[in-house]
Structure 1
Amino acid sequence: MIPGDLQQVLYCLPAGMVIGSFHFGGLWLTIHRLTGERSRGVMFAAGFVLRSFVTLTAVFMVSGGEWIGMTACLAGILIMRKICIFNLRPKAIGYTKGSLR
């Protein structure tokens, strides 16, 4: 790996995490707002199109159109996906550590 490539990876990985937090945070907000809406399908589709457009545009802009930067951005987005899944998953009711023996 060339030092310039390493610098690009070190720049694009955290940028991908920011992009991922926007994408999955927006998804979470969209899902939570669907319960009070009449046109759920339209709102979900509009949220999807907006999030996808912003995410893809940001990845392309941050990476400069180079595959190494895009790969680093993708890695950052996937890291944020794992973090969001871990932090936003539903909590089990009535379960305490060690209660199942």
Structure 2
Amino acid sequence: MTMNELLPLLLAGIAGLALGGFFFGGLWWTVRKVVSSPRPALWVFGSLLLRMAIALCGFYLVSGGDWQRLLSCLVGFTIARFAVTRLTRGAGDARSGVAKEAGYAP
């Protein structure tokens, strides 16, 4: 594989990281927003539609009909999932500690 073939795959992976960061970061933001919202179903449904539309359009544009770029983008998207999960694990409010303690209740 030459450098000319590797560069589009690398860029597709970076685009996948960005798409995944937006998708899963948006999911985290939505879950935090839903807790205090008077209309949680609207937030969840609207967020899902927006995040899915952007992610699917992004995958379509990045792939350009090439399965290797699509796969590279998907790998970046998956890596972003783990990164966002790890970064937001302890980023909850004071209730997150209560929820952890509640798991030990008899």
TM-score w.r.t. length of structure 2: 0.77
Q: In the alignment, is residue 44 of structure 1 matched against residue 52 of structure 2?
A: no
Q: Structure 2 regions of 5+ residues with no counterpart?
A: 98-106
Q: In the alignment, is residue 78 of structure 1 matched against residue 81 of structure 2?
A: no
**Per-residue deviation, residues 50-96 of structure 1 (Å, max 9, x unmatched):** 10000110111122121111100100011111111111113896xxx
* Aligned position for 2:35: 35
**Per-residue deviation, residues 33-62 of structure 1 (Å, max 9, x unmatched):** 102212211210110011000011011112
CA–CA separation in structure 1 for the residues paired with 2:67 and 2:3: 16
Amino acid of the structure 2 residue aligned with 1:37: S
Amino acid of the structure 2 residue aligned with 1:66: D
The root-mean-square deviation of aligned C-alpha atoms, in Å, is 2.0
> Offset at 1:3?
5.2
* Aligned position for 1:58: 58
> Offset at 1:9?
0.8
Amino acid of the structure 2 residue aligned with 1:14: I
> Structure 1 residues 60, 4: CA separation in 2 closer, same or farther (over 3 Å shift)?
farther
After superposing on structure 2, the runs of 4+ consecutive aligned residues of structure 1 that deviate more than 3 Å are 1-5, 90-93
Q: Structure 1 regions of 5+ residues with no counterpart?
A: 94-101
How high is the sequence identity, in percent, across the aligned residues?
29
* Aligned position for 2:100: none
Aligned residues between the structures: 93
CA–CA separation in structure 2 for the residues paired with 1:67 and 1:2: 18
TM-score w.r.t. length of structure 1: 0.80
CA–CA separation in structure 1 for the residues paired with 2:35 and 2:86: 23
